[in-house]
Structure 1
Amino acid sequence: MSNFTTELAPGYRASRLIKGCWHLAGGHGTVDETQAVSDMAAFVEAAMTTFDCADHYIGVEALIGRFRQAHPALARRLQVHTKCVPDYDRLADCDRGYLTSIIDRSLSRLGVEQLDLVQFHWWNLAQPGYVEALGVLADLRREGKIAHLGLTNFNTRLTREILDAGVPLVSTQVQYSLLDSRPERGLVDLCRERGLQLLCYGTLAGGLLSDTWLGQPEPVEPLANRSHAKYRLIIEDFGGWSLFQELLAALQAIAQRHGVGLGDVATRWVIDRPQVASAIMGFTSTRHLPSARRIEALRLDAEDHARLDPLLARRTGPPGDCYDIERDKDGRHGRIMRYNQNEGRH
């Protein structure tokens, strides 16, 4: 995977497959911190040198900081994409001091003098201030605390508003997969026009887009982890479990044709989409490293797309633009969110 990178900004490259670290924040089983640090070393040695985390992923920035201390030579090859996600209950007083404290805390936890990429999120659009908050982050960028700025979970209209305000963005992180085509409803075109690239999560629907679930009944409560809770709802919006099973069968046929895994096909489909720089992979251990090498080598052709396109044409959702349905705090998607984790509150 030595050359499987992309240029997000002049002089700044990131892995096309980014190691996602959400699962290390809890809700996905017990975390063995020593093993997690060892796994991080193995991923960097295998040239997956970009990690995705967040200020509100409890304990994760500090865990990456522990890796950096334990493996200083490997740490010099690492890029860390974190997030700035002010708590829902703090948006009304999200001032310069509060935002600066978040950034300073991330710097301290990670053990660095500059954050490679800070991706900003704003929970409640009824509360003004997100453009002003990004202005503060742009100031911190000029001061050298941040190298690059991006967004996470903003729709097309809001992204345009932020760009028109002069905020210097390089990327936007959104959910994008065979199950979720919302970025294609305007955001991809805007990114092409304005020079932004997409960093995509949900590529494997929290592990549901895998051969493990081919031919299996729909999971029921209690679900195995938070990812299954989130992405089962996406499958319902996509068209239901029956259509999902048809998709899995098609992916399996393509995978067998190329001698790869079902999830490899789903991931390659995403990173081949226009304006997609990288897919964020929730790889939980080094057993996934062979998959990363297969994805790099895989090339989907016209026959593969001819098998997938009729199924994708039958999608019924998710509706709207990126993250619109998740912003309904009382809706199916919004009810499962945790809104106040930046200060350790749930």
Structure 2
Amino acid sequence: MAANTNAERVDLAPDLSVSRITKGNWQLAQRHGPEVEREVAIEDMRRFVEAGFTNFDCADHYVQVEELIGEFRTRYPDLAKQLTVQTKVVPDRDVLPRIKKADIEFVVDRAIKRLGVEVLDLAQFHWWDYDVPGYVEAMGWMQDLKKEGKLRYVGTTNFDCQRMSEIIESGVEITSHQLQYSVIDRRPEHGMVALAEKHGFGLQCYGVVAGGFLSPKYLGAADPAAPLANRSLVKYRLILDEFGPWSLFQEMLTVLAAVGEKHGTNLSNVAIRYVLDKPQVATAIVGAKTAEHLEALKAVASLKLDADDRAAIEAVIAKGAGPEGDCYALERVPGGRHTTIMWTNQNLKGVGAR
């Protein structure tokens, strides 16, 4: 079956057209939460592609996810022709002091094999520790692999403005930058949006529904007690703390729900649409363990927020305390609450490729 042509699309590059709603697959990773059934995951991928959500986001350290997508491609070759897959190259923190091009190439070659493709559509690079030099050189190796035909395009994820500028000034061509952006996390507006506009790269935004917190499930609910059900909720509960008290979050949910009711949709879709309408935003990466919310997501394309809608949302945003600072800065504070929940050695298991 052909993909739904009514789904919104965007050109990340002249020959790289992707769905604006991208299926995020972190929730399928082992250790994220309860184990997913492979057959269910693969059939849900089919449903997403048939619905027009043909861009999948994954990463080398999302354990088993690249292999699941590769299995989907093998099982549904016609749908695979419509699919674009963007993965991430995330060298282990322990590898960074001695990283070589061979380590980067190892991860890329492994992703190509896992996904069952000849070339990666888009590979997005992440660097855990700015105190370790080498991220600019490593991005140069990524560009080399593009020239060698292993990558169609090179992107980045979770870099701040200073480091993005260094990378761009070195001559690396950045197609897109993946970062966290939502109604409760506006850090991209602290310089990255302007940088993206200046250099012509799109923003691919994760966390747009805050790991599921921006959903009707939590409207009117008490602040959930630990332990939370999965790692997404753990991560975004900390972001909620930066935004403000649970009562302010409830105010945000109430406003989003009112806007949704006005337009005949749910509050999650309003949160997604709000981000998609922001300058330089190319895609919204919506994490999906199952296709449970697929039908509702289809309504995002036709949702049109007006000035009153945006003003109501921004009135609540203005009451928020944060998060402050540049993109992913809180997640890099040594010993900080946002940093200590990260697993930084899941890819090469602390050793180089050679």
SS in structure 2 of the partner of residue 277 of structure 1: strand
Look up the equivalent residue of 2:109 and give its one-letter code.
Answer: D
Partner of 2:20: 16
1:329 Cα offset (Å): 3.6
Partner of 2:209: 204
**In the alignment, structure 1 residue 80 sits paired with structure 2 residue 110:** no
Check the 8 A contact 1:56/1:344 in 2, yes or no.
no
Q: How high is the TM-score relative to the length of structure 1?
A: 0.98
Q: Aligned match of 1:134 in 128, 135, 139?
A: 139
Check the 8 A contact 2:92/2:349 in 1, yes or no.
no
Q: Aligned match of 2:244 in 239, 250, 257?
A: 239
1:287 Cα offset (Å): 2.5
Look up the equivalent residue of 2:149 and give its one-letter code.
Answer: G
Could you report, residue by residue, the CA deviation over 1:261-302 in whole angstroms, capped at 9, with x for unpaired residues? 110000000000000000000122222222221111100001
Partner of 1:265: 270
1:315 Cα offset (Å): 1.4
SS in structure 2 of the partner of residue 151 of structure 1: strand
**In the alignment, structure 1 residue 325 sits paired with structure 2 residue 330:** yes
Check the 8 A contact 1:53/1:83 in 2, yes or no.
yes
Q: How high is the TM-score relative to the length of structure 2?
A: 0.96
Separation in 2 of the partners of 1:121 and 1:306? 35
254-263 or 282-291, which deviates more: 282-291
Q: How does 1:167-186 map to 2 (within 5 A)?
A: 167-186=172-191
Check the 8 A contact 1:209/1:262 in 2, yes or no.
yes
Separation in 2 of the partners of 1:46 and 1:211? 23
1:344 Cα offset (Å): 5.1
RMSD over aligned CA atoms reads 1.0
1:258 Cα offset (Å): 0.7
Separation in 2 of the partners of 1:188 and 1:75? 32
Look up the equivalent residue of 2:5 and give its one-letter code.
Answer: S
Separation in 1 of the partners of 2:25 and 2:42? 12
Separation in 2 of the partners of 1:40 and 1:158? 35
Check the 8 A contact 2:179/2:206 in 1, yes or no.
yes
**In the alignment, structure 1 residue 123 sits paired with structure 2 residue 145:** no
**In the alignment, structure 1 residue 2 sits paired with structure 2 residue 5:** yes
Check the 8 A contact 1:58/1:344 in 2, yes or no.
no
Separation in 2 of the partners of 1:68 and 1:204? 28
Look up the equivalent residue of 1:5 and give its one-letter code.
Answer: R
Look up the equivalent residue of 1:324 and give its one-letter code.
Answer: A
Separation in 1 of the partners of 2:90 and 2:21? 23
Separation in 1 of the partners of 2:93 and 2:76? 36
Structure 2 unaligned residues grouped into runs of 5+: none
Check the 8 A contact 1:155/1:322 in 2, yes or no.
yes
Partner of 2:257: 252
SS in structure 1 of the partner of residue 175 of structure 2: strand
**In the alignment, structure 1 residue 62 sits paired with structure 2 residue 67:** yes
Partner of 1:148: 153
**In the alignment, structure 1 residue 41 sits paired with structure 2 residue 46:** yes
- Percent of aligned pairs with the same amino acid: 49
Structure 1 unaligned residues grouped into runs of 5+: none
Check the 8 A contact 1:182/1:319 in 2, yes or no.
yes
**In the alignment, structure 1 residue 28 sits paired with structure 2 residue 33:** yes
Separation in 1 of the partners of 2:38 and 2:123? 24
**In the alignment, structure 1 residue 224 sits paired with structure 2 residue 229:** yes
Separation in 1 of the partners of 2:316 and 2:104? 44
1:96 Cα offset (Å): 1.1
Q: Give the 3 Å change call, closer, same or farther, for CA 291–344 of structure 1 in structure 2.
A: farther
Look up the equivalent residue of 2:284 and give its one-letter code.
Answer: A
Could you report, residue by residue, the CA deviation over 1:204-233 in whole angstroms, capped at 9, with x for unpaired residues? 001000111011111111111111100000
1:28 Cα offset (Å): 2.4
Separation in 2 of the partners of 1:256 and 1:95? 53
Separation in 2 of the partners of 1:177 and 1:313? 14
**In the alignment, structure 1 residue 286 sits paired with structure 2 residue 304:** no
Separation in 1 of the partners of 2:277 and 2:348? 37
**In the alignment, structure 1 residue 50 sits paired with structure 2 residue 55:** yes
